[in-house]
Chains A and B, each alone.
Chain A
Amino acid sequence: GGPGPRPPRGCLQRRLGPRERRDMQREILAVLGLPGRPRPRAPPAAARLPASAPLFMLDLYHAMAGDGDEDGGPPTRSLGRADLVMSFVNMVEHNQALGHQELHWKEFRFDLTQIPVGEEVTAAEFRIYKLPSTHLLNRTLHISMFEVVREQSNRESDLFFLDLQTLRAEDEGWLVLDVTAASDHWSLNPNKDLGLRLYVETEDGRSVDPGLAGLLGRQAPRSKQPFMVTFFRVGPSPVRAPR
């Protein structure tokens, strides 16, 4: 950039030693609110392919940084006044079916331990990719999402309704389900995994295997795997203790 800062009179300018450089990096990390530089795992060859969450978050970054004005605004309404957005890709997926009732569902478990405690959640979305269904031609499908509030050993789990979307079996693209209402429970049990359960029904109420409806899970290509995005409004930046 411009002329570097002039050293105060009488002070010799010199390069930082390795330890001072590490201290400087730690200081800048603290300003950026990062506890420490994460150990980047050497991504396996497959992981170098663009994954769905980073691709979506990069669009958000351009929208938040103001570059996104050209293409007509942010990729989601939820960006609003958020100043922290977290995407969660580490999830466990279960595909269930209760034989005698022919009841099918997909369940996703998220580790929420990284969610910053005390920050206000302004929105949360679950994003899952849908291919055109080759099994249910010309049908209307109802996709409903529930939070698993409590599992019961001797009966069905307690569920909390979150969102319902209606679409055509031949539709394709990202399906966005609003799971903001689940965030109220996160703050109550910050260390409990979040369980999201997804059902698909035809208009006559018959339960359909989500995979047959074209909904992609963890087995999908990396750029089409499901993920969750949470938007936070961070409180007033805490005054940092003098170091």
Chain B
Amino acid sequence: AARPLKRRPPKKTNELPHPHKLPGIFDDVHGSDGQHVCRRHKLYVSFQDLGWLDWVIAPQGYSAYYCDGECSFPLDSCMNATNHAILQSLVHLMKPDAVPKACCAPTKLSATSVLYYDSSNNVILRKHRNMVVRACGCH
């Protein structure tokens, strides 16, 4: 008969406490001092406003978005912060003058296409990479 398995004590994990489990941790979009946490904001680049529609055939403009907001510890899971950013934020808490907070920047970018005339009136279609922010995070 198989001897009952000896229950091993749970492995001590040295991972950081999940922000949602710590008491009194805000998990809404406002960080510690009422600032917005790092996230994507609308930004529309208008070729019309730039006065370029006489040579840009399409589009009239495009939504580029931008990232802005606080990267304050605990870095909420919605910020998809890198492990490095989490460590940097911790060290910032200990030495705020020596190490800055992690900063809010794009984590995923996509392309946009522009159709325009060149100086010889040929029509050019160009796909520009990394022009639209898809997601932001703390780096």
Which of B41, B57, B68, B119 contacts A1 (CB under 8 A)? B41
Q: Known: A25-B50, A37-B52. Contact between A2 and B120, CB under 8 A?
A: no
Is A87 within 8 A of B58, CB to CB?
A: no
Is A61 within 8 A of B113, CB to CB?
A: yes
- Asked if A194 CB lies within 8 Å of chain B CBs, one says no
- Asked if B118 CB lies within 8 Å of chain A CBs, one says yes
Interface residues as binary, B6-49 with A (CB distance below 8 Å gives 1, 0 otherwise): 00000000000000000000000000000000000111110000
Is A39 within 8 A of B126, CB to CB?
A: no
Chain B residues with CB under 8 Å of chain A are 41-45, 50, 52, 54-55, 57-59, 63, 66, 68, 111-131
Closest to B65 in A: A1
Chain A residues, Cβ within 8 Å of B120: 90, 111, 114
A9 to B: closest C-beta gap in Å: 12
Closest to B52 in A: A37
Complex alpha-carbon distance, A57 and B122, angstroms = 10
A96 to B: closest C-beta gap in Å: 26
Closest to A1 in B: B42
Chain A residues with CB under 8 Å of chain B are 1-3, 5-6, 25, 28, 31-34, 37-41, 53-54, 57-58, 60-61, 64-65, 82-90, 111, 114, 237
Q: Known: A38-B117, A58-B58, A61-B115. Contact between A5 and B41, CB under 8 A?
A: yes
Q: What are 23 A-B residue pairs whose CB atoms fall within 8 Å in the complex?
A: A1-B42, A1-B43, A2-B43, A33-B126, A34-B116, A38-B118, A40-B54, A40-B55, A40-B117, A53-B122, A53-B123, A54-B57, A57-B57, A58-B58, A60-B125, A61-B58, A61-B113, A83-B126, A83-B129, A84-B126, A84-B127, A86-B118, A237-B130
Is B125 within 8 A of A114, CB to CB?
A: no
